[in-house]
Amino acid sequence: MSRYDEAKKIYADLGVDTEKAIQALKSVCVSVHCWQGDDVIGFDSGEALSGGIQTTGNYPGKARTPHELMADMDKAFSLIPGSKKLNLHACYAITDGNVGRDELEPCHFEKWVSFAKERGMGIDFNPTFFSHPMVKDGLTLSSPDEEVRAYWVRHGIACLKIAEYFANETGVPCVMNIWIPDGYKDIPADRLGPRARFKRSLDEILSTSYDKKKVYITLESKVFGIGLESYTVGSAEFCLSYADHKGITPLMDNGHYHPTESVADKISALLLYNEKIALHVTRAIRWDSDHVVLFDDETRDIACEIVSCGALDRVFLATDYFDASINRISAWITGVRNLQKALLYGLLMPTERMAELQNNNEMTELMYVREELKVAPIGDVWAEFLNREGVVADYLSEVKKYESEVLISRK
């Protein structure tokens, strides 16, 4: 008997069909963030990363050009199983260098569209409200300077058109996520004003007509950023209320909450009030540090929650982390695979039976089942999935080979 066949039997005894789990996992799409490849720099401004987010480390080989970033993503994609989407930021526009973010057009993303189309992928998109000279005093859409605010509104509108173009070209709906870094390091005198301006700016962006079946606009909240510790304009309450008020989609990044808050717990609440919800999956160590996603409790809890809510087709899943201290391609593969592994872990649970135990207040039995599942042979099912997807298990050798052949010569 193969290891998979044995695992299949062990899971069957626990009331789980591994074939069904593998089948379900195959169709879950993960939107892979392009910004792991170059430490969130992009091609359009030459500015250092700002906005209260940070990369640390100087591992050799970061992508410096569109060509290099595409090649690196390709390498990563070839070692990631399952269904994937390309997640771009506006700062990855491919221009001659003289195009303002408020003037961006679909043509500046033609090469990305060809890249995605050739690989049969959809594209998700993010306006880039940071690392730019038009960010004034740390503010964009909430700026009291009308010129600054209007600039970023134009950027938002430009991005919306590009998002629609992505959907039209690829035939796959585009998720366009809005996140602004706006906030204050120290205690603001006026908390209402910036939020009122942010609201007005969002209203202005959303007053552009767009096809809601093609573009899903998501709004990402945050608790604080580095250098912006006292006040964040786009707080959880602001963003959730705004999304609800306007019928757009809320996005939760699990690095954007207080450390003992659980994004897993928030999922069911949002699912009751939203047709779709969106997630940025990351790993926060002590702060929103954006470490590579691991196969850890937090990731598993999030994945199990999506599965047990029966919401795999209602959650837009994207990765969002950036580690510059290790091989960036390995970082991509490790993080995305771990999210997929966590989803498999969720799919390998006898969800209905466990809910029944809960409803019958058989909590002793529930604890027993949950703990037994932790030592069940998920590794063998995962290996079978990789095999069926035609992806090698040992990605490290491949990555190391690419590093010595390609990355090391980038200075």
Residue closer to ligand RNT by CB (options 7, 228) is: 228
Query: Of the candidates 100, 63, 22, 109, which has an alpha carbon nearest to the alpha carbon of residue 329?
Result: 63
Least distance from C-beta 311 to Zn ion, angstroms?
20
Active site residue 182: no
Active site residue 253: yes
Least distance from C-beta 321 to ligand RNT, angstroms?
8
Q: Which of 38, 182, 253, 398 is catalytic?
A: 253
* Footprint on residues 20-39 left by Zn ion (CB under 5 A): none
Residue closer to Zn ion by CB (options 31, 201) is: 31
Active site residue 179: yes
Whole-angstrom CA distances from 163 to 24, 64, 253, 291 are 28, 24, 21, 28
List all residues 6 or more positions away from 279 whose beta carbon is below 8 Å from its beta carbon.
251, 252, 253, 254, 263, 302, 315, 316, 317, 318
Q: Is the CB of residue 107 less than 8 Å from the CB of residue 70?
A: no
83-105: b (≥16 Cβ within 10 Å) or e: bbbbbbbbbbbbeeeebebbebe
Least distance from C-beta 263 to ligand RNT, angstroms?
13
Residue closer to ligand RNT by CB (options 29, 90) is: 90
Q: Which of 72, 124, 305, 320 is catalytic?
A: 320
Q: Is the CB of residue 278 less than 8 Å from the CB of residue 175?
A: yes
* Neighbour count for residue 263 (Cβ, 10 Å): 21
What whole-number distance in Å separates Cα of residue 217 and Cα of residue 287? 26
**Binding flag, residue 84, Zn ion (CB under 5 A):** no
Residue closer to Zn ion by CB (options 38, 253) is: 253
Least distance from C-beta 100 to Zn ion, angstroms?
24
What whole-number distance in Å separates Cα of residue 321 and Cα of residue 293? 8
Q: Which of 35, 112, 152, 179 is catalytic?
A: 179
Query: Which parts of this chain interact with ligand RNT (CB under 6 A)?
Result: 35, 40, 53, 126, 179, 220, 222, 253, 280, 288, 320
* Footprint on residues 275-304 left by Zn ion (CB under 5 A): 280
Q: Which helix (H) or strand (E) holds 389?
A: helix 378-389
Q: How far apart are the first and last CA of the chain?
A: 50
Least distance from C-beta 288 to ligand RNT, angstroms?
6
- Out of 38, 182, 253, 323, the only residue in the binding site for Zn ion (CB under 5 A) is 253
Residue closer to ligand RNT by CB (options 42, 377) is: 42
- Out of 39, 72, 320, 398, the only residue in the binding site for Zn ion (CB under 5 A) is 320
Q: Which residues bind Zn ion (CB under 5 A)?
A: 253, 280, 320
Residues with a known catalytic role: 179, 220, 222, 253, 256, 280, 288, 290, 320
